[in-house]
Amino acid sequence: MSTAPENQVDELATLREEIETLRQNLVDKNRQLQDLQAAQRATAAANNGANNGVPANFSTPHVNDLTKDEIERYSRQLILPGFGVTAQTKLRNSSFLIVGMGGLGCPSSQYLVAAGSGRIGLVDYDLVDRSNLHRQTLHTECTIGLPKVESAKSALLQINPNCEIITYKTLLNSGNALEIIKQYDVILDCTDNVVTRYMLNDACVLQHKPLVSGSALQFDGQLTVYHYGEICPCYRCLFPVPPPPQAVTNCGDGGVMGAITGVIGSMQALEAIKVATGVGETLAGRLLIFDGANGIFRNIKLRGRRSDCKVCSTNPMITQLIDYEFFCSMHASDDNQALQLLSPEERIDVRQYIDMRSEPHLLIDVRPPNEFEICRLPSSVNMPLKDVLDNKFVEEFQNELDDKKLPIILVCRRGNDSQIAAQHMCNKYPSHTIRDIVGGLYAWHYQIDNEFPIY
């Protein structure tokens, strides 16, 4: 006999509660583990030099200042020709600031911590989300909802408890960047937005810090080291003017293959290690381009420092941090990115759409076909935005458009593209009722049905 629907609902709720309690337990246990490990390290440090019952003349002195644990832990790195104790010790005396604990920050911090870096700062304002887990490999099912910096710190200390890890759960901006950056030797840009790229670049130039910069989108990645050495350009030398906001795509909109961020993030760690130890040739003055779809690495030579660069030239115009959101006409965080193209009366919200669903209407989903395939509202038809803008709807929906009373509703993922489509269609058919749904499928998930998937 099958369970009654209301029992299933109760059972589901109980299971969810139990999972939540277990998750919270795991987080608490992880914290306890970290505290115990810290106490253990403190005791070991206090006992350092004590002979633990072994006669004094039998205790072995540390070789070249590396402890027994360090020699064992880094043995495969220590025996590398050209690396050795000197580089290992330099690494231990170095500090790295990783800005962004997402797709790039996770692998780069993982390798820097595992390799024996002395001190690592982690900066991120965001919380772990389930959609992060396919690429942000330090975060897990158990740390969903926790600050990314805390989730990462706990995972990193499991790898190497000897590394000092400092967390900053904050948006790095003009107000706090210089103060934080000055405490570290090498800075890694693992963020995903143009505003932070310019801000970090200028802050690193002002503080004379090398900047290891990575980016990953879809199947592609890029990597270089800015402002390192005499002639190496800064980000502004290459891009004096920010791109127009509509030309910028992030992972949330364009998608990204997790392994691409793994490749670029690991290489950022490698570049940072080379900068800190002086071993090997860094990518300063060169840009590494990774075409993951075709398995091709390219290395292109970059121009030298720009003599009229606003920040790194001998007579810079920028001598302190500016308002980068204003400079780029964009936001640094994912918040408040909603486009305001149409007035409220030209739009409907999800509840209004629910009310009109029983009446005849045409619901057009303007997302790309691969996203439409992931999930869709019942009875919606797909016409991607670019086809709407090419007027393909004129032919495709000729009958519906002939019926002037039939409302046409446009929907997309978050309610931005649907506004562009609605505005375009309204210009062509001004007497027709054409509306878009505020907040799109996200609003549907949050306000109507949280079983409806979001991505």
Ligand X SMILES: Nc1ncnc2c1ncn2[C@@H]1O[C@H](COP(=O)(O)OP(=O)(O)OP(=O)(O)O)[C@@H](O)[C@H]1O
CB 197 within 8 A of CB 213: yes
412 among known catalytic residues: yes
Task: Report residue 436: phi and psi, to 5°.
Answer: -120, 160
Q: Quick check: helix, strand or coil at residue 452?
A: coil
Residue written as token pair 């009722």: 433
Q: Is 131 annotated as a binding residue?
A: yes
Q: Which of 26, 85, 133, 171 binds ligand X (CB under 6 A)?
A: 171
Interaction of residue 328 with ligand X, rule CB under 6 A: no
Q: Which of 151, 154, 196, 213 binds ligand X (CB under 6 A)?
A: 196
Task: Report residue 63: phi and psi, to 5°.
Answer: -85, 125
185 or 192, CB closer to ligand X? 192
Count the residues of the shown chain that bind Zn ion, applying the rule CB under 5 A: 5
What strands, in cross-sheet order, belong to the sheet with 164-168? Answer: 164-168, 119-123, 95-99, 186-189, 211-217, 220-226, 286-291, 296-301
Token code pair at residue 163: 């590394």
Please give the DSSP secondary-structure letter assigned to residue 378: T
Of these residues, 106, 163, 412, 426, which one is catalytic? 412
Token code pair at residue 393: 């709807």
115 or 200, CB closer to ligand X? 200
Q: Is 312 annotated as a binding residue?
A: yes
232 or 267, CB closer to Zn ion? 232
Residue closest to 319 by CA, chosen among 205, 218, 163: 205
Task: Report residue 373: phi and psi, to 5°.
Answer: -70, -30
Of these residues, 142, 204, 232, 251, which one is catalytic? 251
Strands 286-291 and 220-226: antiparallel
Task: Report residue 128: phi and psi, to 5°.
Answer: -70, 135
Residues 222-261 that bind ligand X (CB under 6 A): 250-252
The piece of 186-194, 262-270, 288-296, 297-305 that touches ligand X (CB under 6 A) is: 186-194
The piece of 14-22, 236-244, 274-282, 333-341 that touches Zn ion (CB under 5 A) is: 236-244
Q: Which of 66, 88, 92, 103 binds ligand X (CB under 6 A)?
A: 103
Interaction of residue 371 with ligand X, rule CB under 6 A: no
375 among known catalytic residues: no
| Angle of helix 148-159 versus helix 5-47 axis, rounded to 10 | 50
Q: Quick check: helix, strand or coil at residue 418?
A: helix
Token code pair at residue 346: 């030209």
The piece of 105-113, 135-143, 251-259, 306-314 that touches Zn ion (CB under 5 A) is: 306-314
- Residues of the binding site for ATP: 103, 124, 131-135, 148, 192-193
Which residues sit at the interface with ligand X, rule CB under 6 A? 99-103, 123-126, 131-132, 136, 148, 171-172, 191-193, 196, 250-252, 332, 334
- Residues of the binding site: 103, 124, 131-135, 148, 192-193, 234, 237, 309, 312
Which residues sit at the interface with Zn ion, rule CB under 5 A? 234, 236-237, 309, 312
Enumerate the active-site residues.
Answer: 251, 412
